[in-house]
């Protein structure tokens, strides 16, 4: 079996190659940049949760693969991503138990999130870390454009802000680290969304 650094290096190279070459142009949010963000957040959370090296390895592999299914289209991208991860890891003789853990983490990112263990909780929190980002609106705008392109329909600004408000209001992180360090930032972004929505409605009167 390959060492941790070897398998992670192979996974990273493969994911970057596939995401940069095969993602549709419509994927303005679910891009290589988002995957890099999730990988960094997953590494941070895993370390702060004091997970083992083996657990961190599984989480980082899942983070690199979690959105690779978008190269096959937005529909069922989690299933496609899990399948692609399994195929790749089996070729490199990765242990079957860990392959299933990687696939479980990828599937756990499907909305609504429903993680069943700590590994899945970490990847779910990493995938939603943009909700606490100081650059929240810039990232939300990328998702707004992506949804309009992929669904081929216009989403009015007021409707989009209301969707953001509802999502932020209902969101809860799973890991203790994310709860303690990022939920307050989510609440701040929720307030900004509410203020922007109020201003938009006032301007339209």
Instruction: Give residue-wise pLDDT tens across range 118-151.
Output: 999 999 999 999 999 999 999 999 999 999 998 8
Q: How far apart are CA 21 and CA 37, in angstroms?
A: 19
- pLDDT value at position 121? 98
Instruction: State the pLDDT at residue 202.
Output: 72
User: Between helices 118-127 and 96-108, what is the axis angle to 10°?
Assistant: 40
Region 171-187 average pLDDT: 97
What is the pLDDT at residue 205? 61
- Number of domains the chain contains: 1
The string of pLDDT tens digits covering residues 21-31 is 999 988 999 99
The rounded percent of the chain whose pLDDT value lies above 70 is 97
What is the pLDDT at residue 4? Answer: 56
3-class DSSP state of 39: helix
Tokens of residue 150, six digits: 């992929």
Q: Greatest CA separation found in the chain? A: 65
pLDDT tens figures, 71-103: 998 889 999 999 999 999 999 999 999 999 999
pLDDT of residue 3: 61
Q: Say what the pLDDT of residue 46 is.
A: 97
The continuous run of DSSP H or E covering 192 comes out as helix 176-204
Quick: pLDDT tens for 24-66.
Answer: 988 999 999 999 999 999 999 999 999 999 999 999 999 999 9
We report the CATH number of the domain holding residue 135 as 1.10.3210.10
Predicted pLDDT at 12: 96
pLDDT of residue 151: 81
Residue 57 burial by CB count (10 A; 0-12/13-18/19+): exposed, middle or buried?
Answer: buried
Domain range enclosing 154: 4-204
Q: What is the pLDDT of residues 142-160, one digit of tens each?
A: 999 999 998 878 999 999 9
DSSP letter (8 states) at residue 2 = -
- How far is 9 from 4, CA to CA, in rounded Å? 8
């Amino acid at each position: 079996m390959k060492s941790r650094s070897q398998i992670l290096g192979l996974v990273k190279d493969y994911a970057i190659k596939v995401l940069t070459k095969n993602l549709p142009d419509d994927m303005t949010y679910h891009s290589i940049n988002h995957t890099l963000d999730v990988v960094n957040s997953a590494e941070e959370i895993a370390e702060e949760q004091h997970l083992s090296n083996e657990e961190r390895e599984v989480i980082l592999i899942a983070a690199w693969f979690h959105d690779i299914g978008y190269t096959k289209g937005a529909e069922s991208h989690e299933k496609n991503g899990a399948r692609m991860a399994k195929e790749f890891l089996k070729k490199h003789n990765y242990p079957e138990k860990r392959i299933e853990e990687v696939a479980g983490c990828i599937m756990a990112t499907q909305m609504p999130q429903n993680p069943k263990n700590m590994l899945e909780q970490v990847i779910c929190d990493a995938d939603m870390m943009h909700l606490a980002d100081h650059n929240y609106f810039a990232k939300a705008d990328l998702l707004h454009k992506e949804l309009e392109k992929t669904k081929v329909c216009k989403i009015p600004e007021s409707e989009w802000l209301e969707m953001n408000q509802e999502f932020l209001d209902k969101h809860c992180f799973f890991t203790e680290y994310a709860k303690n360090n990022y939920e307050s930032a989510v609440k701040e972004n929720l307030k900004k969304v509410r203020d922007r929505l109020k201003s938009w409605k006032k301007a339209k009167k």
